[in-house]
Structure 1
Amino acid sequence: MAVAHVPAALEAIYRRNFVFFLIDNILFNVAMGIMGITTVIPAFVRELTDVEILIGLSGNMFAIGYTLPQLFIARLLRRHARKKWWFAGPNIPVRLMMLLFAGLALTIGDQRDLLLLAFLVCYGIAALGDGLVGVPWADLVGTSLDPRWRARMLGLTVATSGTMLLTISPWIGSILGAAGPGFPTNYATLFGVAGTLLALSIIPCLFIRELPGARAHDELPPMRMFLPELATMLREDRPFRGYVVIRALCSLSLMAAPFYIGYATTGLGLASDVAVPTLLAMQMIGSVAGALTYTWLGARDNIAFIRVALVCAALQPVCGLIAGLVGPWPLYLGFLVYGVAASNLLISLLNWLVNYAGAERRPVYVGLSNTIAALALLAAPIIGGTIVARLGYPVLFGTTLLVVALAMALTWRVLRNTVRDRAA
């Protein structure tokens, strides 16, 4: 694919921003990987409660908090041409929350109800706070990096953070194992290290140089006008409408994600200190492989990578079903292929939208799609937990496979490597 000539001064800004975005994203991703939203966190919450819906919610809670407020933030951003401090400012208190929880966990000790409450509050605030900065982050990435540097940054983020997590996964296993410090100090240690990395990630955000994007609007549209405008966008823009449905289906497919660890320990008989680090390591290997693929393929054919990632996402529930028949080894393979999708599918979808929407509509398109995805994420743990409790793991995995298949069919039908008409 031919690359248009970029002036040297602009290329230097892209290169500088690439470094700071990359450092921020790596620190953030490693921190989130240590907390393990589909491994460590569900295992931690399972120590505190046996309510399956709550365990399922814990695995999707960050994604729900991240996506739910974005539509309302997108509306507010229309009055601001510059978005950097909408991103960097809220990061300062928000990314300290998990460090605070680590201290609370050591103080609370083995009072499990109080510990669960403290976790839900701190983790919930961290998730909602990250949702506040999600739209300005996407707009900043869209205006201050071009598609080449953006694809490189997103791919190298996952490749580097995945390699680092793969390296430290034996340490995570030792912390959670019999030789570790014991509950809750073991989990407090992991949350403390993750919280420290999140705190450090505040620093590079301050040095990003923002380039001009959409013009500021003098007036903020009232909600009675804003909501019909959103409906018009969905009705008239077929690729965007298809994208929103695909995002919702991808979110709904996460209904099974928090339950694989429970399936491994209660259904397949693996010990938690074996299942968590081993499955996390397999997922990280897949993430690195997927990220390296995306670094190369994403800059050339983003849609092709989205399709590959969805195929990998479909293989995890298939492997879960096979594991019920032959033993745990297919589950390891499932986490390996899911790693390709887990860390790379959403960034490739986001990269498509950032490219497609254009500067004027980008904040609203990102906010609307993420808010609709959040509604699906809210439903996912309720559906998943109910299916597990009443019908069992195989039905859950079969339902997940059907949802991913629908997303795959829509991707082939409606998404193209095109840029939306800026005059629309």
Structure 2
Amino acid sequence: MQDIKTKDIENFVARYYKRNFIVNALDMAFFNMGSTFYSTSTIFPVLIKNLGGGNIHIGLLPAITNLGWTIPSIIGAKMIEKLPRKLDFILKWTIGERLPYLIIALLLILLAPSNPTLTMYISLSLLFIAALTGGILYPAWLDYIAKIIPPAKRGTLFSVGFGIGGVMGIFASFLARQFIEVYRFPYNFFYCFISASIALGLSYVFIALAKEPDLIVNSDDLSLTQYIKKLPDILKADRNFTLYIVGRIFSALGSMGIGFYTIYSLKVFNLGDEYAGVFSAFLLSSQTASTFLVGPLGDLKGHKLVLSVGILSLLMGYLGLIVGISPWTSYLAFIFLGINFSTFMTSGMALLTEFAPAELRPVYVGLSNTLIGPFSFTAPIIGGILANRIGYKSMFLIAFILTLLGFFVMAFLVKEPRKTQ
């Protein structure tokens, strides 16, 4: 292991900047492409339906991903806070967020024909493992990026990586449509998941080529109990942050209908399963294009404004589904959903960092994830139950009302943090 002293970090970063920029951009791009082949918004719901699953099983998809992405990040942050180098940790743990999709591909060939129900439950369990690992890894990955990419270049890296990944994802979505349309079940989904595994494998190769300096981190040696005890004090002292949490909770509850966009659209407009790939293309096209815009807009006008626009876009998507009269209203719903995803992916994280002073930033992130995570987890399950009992449109209407409350709190009650400091 190369020992790099703190005073030599800048020289190390400058020396390997081009290499690290290229390999990490390609890592993001291929990871994004791989995730398109198993998209939990479009591809995975149709797979669950073909394996015999119902609305509750489909509702588990966003619930699993939300739970995995939010709750474990607190544990992940504690695990890596004193590691001098994060890349070794990432390379070991990221296998857990990539290998499950290869296993699912094999299950579709070896087990699905004889026992589709068991295949469905194992696939959901593997998705949870992948999401859980991703949640643990997120603090390490973001800290690793911050170490090897200068602050003025990080936005460019994310734009290039996710931008190229978005273009590759659009291609992957059309390829997924061809797989689903041309080949019979389960081979059509086998090709989707094996393609995802190949893309994720290439992503792993590129991130393994990165160079990261060693850096000794000095931090308070707090136990998990002490860490948790500090959290209520922040809510009492920071009213604006508390309102932000309330707005995010309403928005999380309002997201209960997202996992049913595809299934509802296929059913109400009598479309074939191959249209899941078309929906994915609209989603990714919108998300890719808006990602290039929302980051600079947030830097210029404020990330609270951009996040409010993202919540508003989800409202517009629900409205399109509720009053929809043709497949084009579903296409518009996925376009608005892409905008929603891009704003939360960029300004959602940026706004959270603006609330917190530097020394409390990990605590703010942990508190936010802990409080919002349970609502993100339960919302789609509630959505599935409501869809079964009162129908899709009524469920979408309830989701619309909850999202509207989230928009009101975020747009009119939460103050832009940069203006209050």
Q: TM-score, normalised by structure 1?
A: 0.86
Give the aligned partner of residue 249 of structure 1.
Answer: 250
- CA deviations 1:109-162 (Å, max 9, x no partner) are 312022113212222211111111012223334454455423333333333222
User: Do 2:66 and 2:377's aligned partners in 1 also have CA atoms closer than 8 Å?
Assistant: no
Corresponding residue for residue 4 of structure 1? none
The 8 Å contact of residues 45 and 116 in structure 1, kept in 2 or not, is answered as yes
CA contact (8 A) 1:79 1:220 kept: no
Q: CA deviation at 1:283?
A: 1.1
The DSSP-based 3-state class of the residue aligned with 1:360 is helix
Partner of 1:262: helix, strand, or coil? helix
Residues 7-406 of structure 1: pairs in structure 2 closer than 5 A: 16-80=19-83, 82-110=85-113, 111-177=115-181, 179-180=182-183, 182-210=184-212, 215-217=217-219, 219-223=221-225, 225-274=226-275, 276-303=276-303, 304-323=305-324, 326-357=325-356, 359-406=358-405
Distance in 1, Cα, partners of 2:402 & 2:258:
13
Contact map agreement 1:159 1:287 (CA 8 A) in 2 = no
Percent identity for Structure 1 against Structure 2:
25
Counterparts of 1:312 and 1:377 in 2: how far apart (Å)?
18
Distance in 1 (CA, whole Å) between partners of 2:19 and 2:408 is: 39
For residue 3 of structure 2, what is the aligned residue in structure 1?
none
Structure 2 CA distance, aligned partners of 1:420 and 1:208? 39
Alpha-carbon deviation of 1:193? 0.8
Aligned partner of 1:191: which letter? F
Matching residue's letter, 2:418: T
1:414 counterpart residue number = 414
Q: In 1, Cα distance between the equivalents of 2:242 and 2:147?
A: 23
Say if 1:142 and 1:355, in contact at 8 Å, map to a contact too: no
Tell me the matched-pair count: 409
CA contact (8 A) 1:151 1:299 kept: no
Please list every run of 5 or more consecutive structure 2 residues that lacks an aligned counterpart in the other structure: 1-9
Q: Does the CA-based 8 Å contact 2:71-2:370 persist in structure 1?
A: yes
Deviates more, 1:13-22 or 1:343-352: 13-22
Q: Are the equivalent residues in 2 in contact too, given 1:158–1:343 (CA < 8 A)?
A: no
- In structure 2, give the amino acid aligned to 1:48: L
Instruction: Say what the alpha-carbon RMSD is for the aligned residues.
Output: 2.8
Shift of 1:168: 3.4
Give 1:221 shift: 1.8
2:251 partner amino acid: C
Q: Is the CA contact (8 Å cut-off) linking 2:70 and 2:135 kept in structure 1?
A: yes
TM-score, length of structure 2 as denominator length: 0.87
Contact kept in structure 1, 2:294 and 2:346, CA below 8 Å: no
Structure 1 pair 343/189, CA: closer, same or farther in 2 (3 Å)? farther
Question: Residues 310 and 156 of structure 1: is their aligned pair in 2 closer, same or farther, counting only changes over 3 Å?
Answer: farther
Does the 8 Å CA contact 1:151/1:294 hold for their aligned counterparts? no
